[in-house]
């Protein structure tokens, strides 16, 4: 499988030395697995690689090789730059040595001599010479990484790899394929096309984690024949399928399972909208002793267990009312999240807060907004 912009991507890799892989604020297993696979692959090409995510813990993904290398803080320090005009006098060697409270920088010419007219000075903020965004529909999904370093992002070459229909194509090189069930599938094809022999069992395990998670172990409607073929290929390359399944589906807290059980018991269908919703009450939260992380994981697991809906809502009775929303890749979820002024937790999973609304209003709220936004959502 070839992608229209893949040669530009390969050229950008070839020209780069230091690569920053940037992830959304709350990355899902597909995001993490894809990023770790890409990082490991680039390191085999002798690149210096950093992965950034605002999220600090990854729970059931701790088994993935390289997970400890993900940083939650990355500085873009302002560096002082000395530019040397070498059009007339060629540079042979650069060296420096401390001299008391100073540092002497020596520029050795191949012939002739450098003068002060050959030098200029400036500053720049650059943590990398290439930034690759993985499973990130927009720059705003990055959170503070982008808002605090917008100029550095503007100045640095960017690659955007994603499978979501709402992706804003914001990079210099955009590789978006909404026919793939996961970003990991796109990465597999790219890495194979670059150099398949570099894909080892660690890279294969990371990519298979993304595919299994995004397809809910091949049970989601978004699963394609290509998903099965690529998963089979990754297993043949050494991916640890059973370990992935054990960590993704057999390491759930009791509190989260209690909450998920209440949500599953109250499922309601809105067939005219292709939507499903459920609610968990304040009493459910109290009895399950659920943490904020349990709530998010319960909402994600709830969505994974619904296979025939285009949009899925889970309302949580807190103050204000919280509604978690996910959708299949063909729905422009960003339109819905932005309508409510909400935020994305990951590429296809968001949260909105409804003030002055009770949990009893949720069906009317969902029906009204889906009626209003139907054309914009792609329903």
| DSSP secondary structure string for all residues of 44-62 | HTT-EEEEE-S----GGGT
Q: Say whether both 209 and 241 belong to one domain.
A: yes
Domain membership of residue 90 (yes or no) is yes
Structural domains in the chain (count): 3
Question: Above 60 in pLDDT, residue 126?
Answer: no
280 pLDDT tier (thresholds 50, 70, 90): very high
Q: Say whether both 194 and 310 belong to one domain.
A: no
Query: Is residue 49 within 8 Å of 42, Cβ to Cβ?
Result: yes
Q: Say whether both 94 and 211 belong to one domain.
A: no
DSSP assignment, residue 136? -
Q: Say whether both 241 and 286 belong to one domain.
A: no
Instruction: Give which of 323, 224, 328, 335 is closest to 274, Cα–Cα.
Output: 328
Q: What is the pLDDT of residue 346?
A: 67
Summarised one tens digit per residue, pLDDT across range 152-194 is: 778 889 999 999 887 899 999 999 998 999 999 999 999 999 9
Q: Say whether both 152 and 283 belong to one domain.
A: no
Question: Helix H segments across the chain?
Answer: 6-15, 29-44, 144-147, 150-155, 183-195, 201-214, 225-236, 241-249, 254-265, 282-288, 292-304, 333-339, 362-377
Q: Say whether both 214 and 328 belong to one domain.
A: no
Q: Say whether both 105 and 156 belong to one domain.
A: no
Summarised one tens digit per residue, pLDDT across range 40-51 is: 999 999 999 999
Q: Say whether both 83 and 98 belong to one domain.
A: yes
User: What is the rounded average pLDDT of the residues 188-208?
Assistant: 96
Domain membership of residue 177 (yes or no) is yes
Q: Say whether both 189 and 309 belong to one domain.
A: no
Tell me the helix, strand and coil percentages in the chain, rounded to 5: 40, 25, 35
Domain membership of residue 140 (yes or no) is yes
* Between residues 169 and 124, the one the model is more confident about: 169
Q: Say whether both 10 and 98 belong to one domain.
A: no
End residue of a domain, out of 210, 226, 248: 248
Q: Both tokens of residue 29?
A: 């297993």
Q: What is the pLDDT of residue 127?
A: 65
Domain membership of residue 1 (yes or no) is no
Domain membership of residue 180 (yes or no) is yes
CA distance 209 to 213: 6
Question: Above 60 in pLDDT, residue 26?
Answer: yes
DSSP assignment, residue 348? T
Domain membership of residue 217 (yes or no) is yes
CA-based angle 260:34:75, to the nearest 5?
100
Q: Say whether both 60 and 206 belong to one domain.
A: yes
pTM, entire model:
0.71
Domain membership of residue 336 (yes or no) is yes
347 pLDDT tier (thresholds 50, 70, 90): low
Q: According to the per-residue pLDDT averaged within each range, which of 82-91, 152-161, 193-202 is highest?
A: 193-202
Q: Say whether both 295 and 270 belong to one domain.
A: yes
**Enclosing domain of residue 216:** 6-74+128-248
CB burial string 282-308: b at 16+ within 10 A, e below: eebbeebebeeebbbbbbbbbbbebee
Q: What is the pLDDT of residue 125?
A: 55
Q: What is the pLDDT of residue 208?
A: 97
User: What is the rounded average pLDDT of the residues 353-374?
Assistant: 91
Domain membership of residue 204 (yes or no) is yes
CATH number at residue 21: 3.90.1640.10
End residue of a domain, out of 213, 248, 283: 248
Question: Above 70 in pLDDT, residue 329?
Answer: yes
Which range among 115-119, 122-126, 234-238, 340-344 shows the weakest confidence by mean pLDDT?
122-126
CATH number at residue 327: 3.10.310.30
Angle between helices 183-195 and 29-44 (to 10 degrees): 10
End residue of a domain, out of 93, 125, 157: 125
């Amino acid at each position: 499988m070839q992608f229209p912009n893949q040669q530009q991507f390969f050229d950008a890799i070839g020209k780069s030395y230091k690569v920053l892989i940037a992830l959304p604020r709350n990355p899902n297993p597909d995001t993490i697995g894809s990023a770790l696979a890409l990082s490991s692959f680039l390191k085999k090409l002798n690149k210096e690689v950093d992965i950034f995510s605002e999220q600090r813990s990854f729970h059931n993904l701790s088994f993935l090789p390289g997970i400890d290398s993900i940083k939650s803080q990355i500085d873009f320090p302002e560096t002082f730059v000395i530019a040397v005009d070498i059009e007339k006098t060629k540079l042979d060697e650069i060296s420096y040595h401390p001299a008391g409270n100073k540092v002497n920088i020596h520029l050795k010419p191949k012939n002739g001599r450098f003068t002060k007219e050959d030098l200029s000075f400036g500053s720049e903020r650059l943590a990398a010479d290439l930034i690759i965004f993985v499973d990130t529909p927009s720059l705003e999904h990055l959170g503070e990484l982008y808002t605090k370093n917008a100029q550095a992002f503007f100045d640095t070459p960017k690659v955007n790899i994603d499978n979501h229909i709402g992706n804003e194509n914001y990079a210099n090189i955009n590789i978006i394929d909404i026919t793939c069930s996961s970003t990991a599938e796109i990465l597999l094809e790219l890495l194979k096309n670059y150099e398949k022999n570099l894909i080892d069992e660690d890279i294969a395990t990371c990519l298979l984690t993304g595919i299994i998670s995004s397809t809910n172990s091949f049970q989601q409607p978004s699963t394609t024949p290509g998903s099965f073929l690529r998963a089979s290929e990754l297993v043949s390359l050494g991916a640890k399928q059973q370990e992935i399944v054990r960590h993704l589906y057999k390491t759930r807290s009791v509190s989260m399972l209690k909450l998920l059980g209440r949500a599953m018991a109250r499922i309601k269908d809105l067939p005219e909208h292709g939507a499903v919703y459920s609610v968990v009450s304040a009493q459910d939260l109290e009895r399950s002793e659920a943490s904020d992380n349990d709530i998010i994981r319960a909402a994600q697991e709830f969505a994974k267990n619904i296979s025939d809906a285009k949009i899925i809502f889970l309302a949580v009775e807190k103050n204000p009312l919280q509604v978690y929303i996910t959708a299949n890749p063909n729905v422009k979820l960003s339109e819905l999240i932005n309508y409510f002024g909400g935020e994305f937790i990951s590429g296809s999973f968001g949260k909105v807060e409804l003030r002055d609304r009770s949990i009893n209003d949720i069906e009317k709220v969902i029906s009204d907004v889906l009626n209003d936004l139907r054309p914009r959502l792609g329903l």
